[in-house]
Structure 1
Amino acid sequence: MLKQNEKLKADNAELEKKLAYTNGKLDQLKEDMEQTRETCRQKTEDMLKQNEKLKADNAELEKKLAYANGKLDQLKEDMEKDRENVRTLQVNMDKQCNEINKQLRQLLQLPFQMNEFDTGATGPPIHHTPEGPAIEESSGLPQSSPLQGLAHGNNSEQPASANDDQFPDVH
């Protein structure tokens, strides 16, 4: 029996030793777990703060984007209005140029008509025959007109016009 008691005491001592080791490990695990919890809590808090900051930044960027999109839409509308204005001006300018060209052609093609005795009645067209060699018509337009020399004197003394390339025979 004594041997049995000693064996029980030895087993009991070994169990207490294992229990102390296990309790030590358990305490270490509890401490590690508490540190992990604190670290996770701190990281979670930091991430929540960062998330709030990102939300605020995102809201600010969305405001800026909305403003920029509004400006872009306004600029597109303005540009379309400007394009329409340019088209209208171009059409008007083309009409005016065509009308001026038409009037110039009519002036160059019709003989000069003179009022008889300032009564307002128009007489038959007066054609002056040129003195000197006859001038050939190369463009279909008269090369010599009764108007030449009347408005500004001798045309050879007139400065060159900016439109000489458009109307080379008219000075």
Structure 2
Amino acid sequence: MKIFINIIAGIAFIMQSVSFVLNALIQKKPECAINSLYSYFVVTAFFCSVLVVVLFVIMYNFNFKFLKIKILNCFFFLVGLLGTYIHIWQLFMHHDFVLISFVLLLYDIYIFCKILGNLLVKTGNAVKNGNIVRRELNLTERVEEKKHYENPGRF
């Protein structure tokens, strides 16, 4: 299954790279500053869309320690948001690469779930029965229980 998913990721990477290059080449000369900023935004978002595939392959196949760094996860989240914008834009506005855009949206969802999972674990929060429980409280309770067992006569 992993080989099949990686092959789909490779095809999506190639198709999105072609789309990125073609979109960069056919951009018109902007008439005002807003159009210029929007053109830069679209080029940046297309680049992030290509990076989404690379991030997906890294997060899906490997479990490196540096992938759990909070700042890096925030950067990945931003890249994923810009990539998601382009995938939705391609899917619903331009009707270009519909199947590839749909697959890339699924990759975005996987990346967001993985990043949010890393952020929840990294901040020390654990979700139990819908409630967020702090791990520090559990550590202090264990220390108090240990003291109670060592000296049962003292409280």
Bin for the TM-score computed over the shorter chain: under 0.3
Higher helix share: 2
Higher strand share: 2
Which structure has the higher relative contact order (CA within 8 Å, separation 6+)?
2
- The alignment's TM-score, normalised by the length of structure 1, stands at 0.24
- The alignment's TM-score, normalised by the length of structure 2, stands at 0.26
In our comparison, the structure showing a higher alpha carbon Rg is 1
